[in-house]
Amino acid sequence: MIETKHAILRHAVLDTVMIMEFMYFFWSRVIIKFSAGIILMISLFAFVWAQSYLEKIGKPAYQASIFTSKKHRQLITLEANDEREWQQLLKADYLSTRIMLISLSLPVVTATMLPEFIQGSGDFGSGFFSPHIMGSIVVSLIGYIFLVKEWGYVFIYFKIEEDSQRF
C-alpha cells in the first residue's frame, strides 16, 4: 500500500524544488551569468533524480500510462491504493486545474500590461526591462502557475480525504 498523502506531499515538494531551481536558473542568468551552466546541471540532475525516486515509490493498481489503452487512463503521476482514492485524486486534479486556469489571469494581465509599462517609463524602462529580465519574468509566471496547480492539488486532496473520514 502506498502512503498516498505522503506521496502527494513528497511529489509537491519535489516539483516545487525543481520549479524554484529553474526559476533561480533563469534569474541567475541575469544576475550571475557564469554560474548559469552549473545551476542548469544541478536542476537537470534534481529532475532526473526526482523522477527515478518517484518510480521507486511503487506501482499502484490504478496507475496508468498515457501511452497505453488501459481502462483507467490518467496522468502518470496520479497514484492511488484503491478506487476511492483514485476518484479523490481525479477530483482534486480536476479542481486544481480549474484553480490553475483562474490563476492564469495574473500572467495574462502582466503580459498585457508590461509592454505598456515599459513604453510609459521611457529610457529607464527600456534599459531596466532587458530581454533577459523579461524572459525571467515570463518563466517565473509559468513557475507560479505550476506551483498553484501543484499545491492546490495537495490541499484539495487533503480536504476531500478529511471530509470522507468525518462522520
- Closer to another protein at the Cβ: 33 or 84? 84
> What is the signed CA dihedral for 25, 28, 30, 36, rounded to 10 degrees?
-70
125 burial level (CB within 10 Å; 0-12, 13-18, 19+): middle
Please tell me whether residue 1 binds another protein under the rule CB under 8 A.
Answer: yes
Considering only residues 85, 136, 143, 148, which one is a binding residue for another protein as defined by CB under 8 A? Answer: 85
**Residue list 18-47, contact with another protein (CB under 8 A):** none
Residue closest to 1 by CA, chosen among 50, 84, 58 = 58
Considering the rule CB under 8 A, would residue 163 count as an interface residue with another protein? yes
Cell triple for 153? 492539488
- Of 16, 77, 81, 110, the residue at the interface with another protein (CB under 8 A) is 81
User: Which residues contribute to the site for another protein (CB under 8 A)?
Assistant: 1, 81-85, 87, 161, 163-167
